[in-house]
Amino acid sequence: MTQEQSAPSHGAGPLVQMRGIVKKFGSTTVLDGIDLDVREGEVVCLIGPSGAGKSTLLRCINGLEQISAGTIEVGGDRLVYEEKHLNAIRSRIGMVFQSFNLFPHMTVLENISVAQREVLGRGKGEAREKAESLLARVGLSQKAGAYPDNLSGGQQQRVAIARALAMDPKVMLFDEPTSALDPELVGEVLKVMRDLADEGMTMVVVTHEMRFARQAADRVVLLADGGIAEQGPPEQVLDDPRSERGRAFLHELISG
């Protein structure tokens, strides 16, 4: 497998640096020696067959999964599995999951405000102002007083994105953010993500939406068989893959 890496013109050094990442679940090795850098302002899309370890790799970045070997650095600080260090690393990372994980008993505005007050120590007025600004940014100003159960899946996911952004992260992680949505709702979430990419947000996105990867990614990384099979600009990886595994995956996409 090749782990050749293109050299995007973002920042002086990597915001996220992963070296020799191994992740095992019991006797099963899911990730086997992953080296990956993500530079400030870069959008990296992780693609690959089911079970390739894409979501696991994402969860390793913010310590939701503890790696079996290797090192991870975020903003120059090494990830250490102690609460104080984990909290410091996670304060720089926003994560959006497949499921929306909103508090059902809180309004949209409260969902976006609560962590700002409890984790960042912002006052009620400041947190509300930030929440209102982010709701406008994701096109949901009119839903500030609504409860999650009264929102569509696409609207709930946009609220989840706003909630993550409210913590002023340095990097946003997206784990198949549209996979739980009805097809007609996918576009509204991808639009918000494309806007974030255009604004220079550093993003690592696990996705099966190849159109999004083609339009928004600076680099596409194909994971397969525990490692990086191929990576490079979207037009290379998606249109003219150099590896046998990349060609096989592309064939599966087209024939599927």
The Cα–Cα gap between 4 and 230 comes to 7
pLDDT tens track for 82-112: 988 898 888 899 999 988 889 999 999 999 9
The Cα–Cα gap between 86 and 59 comes to 13
User: What is the percentage of the chain residues whose pLDDT exceeds 90?
Assistant: 80
Predicted confidence (pLDDT) at residue 3 exceeds the cutoff of 60: no
More confident: 41 or 11: 41
Predicted confidence (pLDDT) at residue 143 exceeds the cutoff of 50: yes
Predicted confidence (pLDDT) at residue 35 exceeds the cutoff of 90: yes
C-alpha distances out from residue 201 to 42, 145, 192, 198, Å: 7, 28, 12, 8
What is the model's pLDDT at position 180?
87
Predicted confidence (pLDDT) at residue 147 exceeds the cutoff of 80: yes
pLDDT tens track for 214-251: 999 999 999 999 999 999 999 999 999 999 988 888 88
Predicted confidence (pLDDT) at residue 256 exceeds the cutoff of 80: no
Confidence of residue 28 (pLDDT cuts 50, 70, 90): very high
Kindly report the average pLDDT of the chain as a whole number: 91
More confident: 72 or 9: 72
> What is the average pLDDT across 105-125?
94
What is the model's pLDDT at position 7?
38
The Cα–Cα gap between 241 and 249 comes to 9
CATH 3.30.70.1140 fits 1-92+169-256, yes or no: no
60: number of CA atoms within 13 Å, CB side?
A: 28
Confidence of residue 78 (pLDDT cuts 50, 70, 90): very high
Confidence (pTM) = 0.91
Sequence ranges of the domains in the chain:
1-92+169-256, 102-168
Confidence of residue 12 (pLDDT cuts 50, 70, 90): low
Predicted confidence (pLDDT) at residue 80 exceeds the cutoff of 70: yes
Question: How is the chain classified by DSSP, letter by letter?
Answer: ----------SSSEEEEEEEEEEEETTEEEEEEEEEEEETT-EEEEE-STTSSHHHHHHHHTTSS--SEEEEEETTEEP-SSHHHHHHHHTTEEEE-SS----TTS-HHHHHHHHHHHTS---HHHHHHHHHHHHHHTT-GGGTT--GGGS-HHHHHHHHHHHHHTT--SEEEEESTTTTS-HHHHHHHHHHHHHHHHTT-EEEEE-S-HHHHHHH-SEEEEEETTEEEEEE-HHHHHHS--SHHHHHHHHHHHH-
Q: Of 96, 41, 42, which is closest to residue 64 (Cα–Cα)?
A: 96
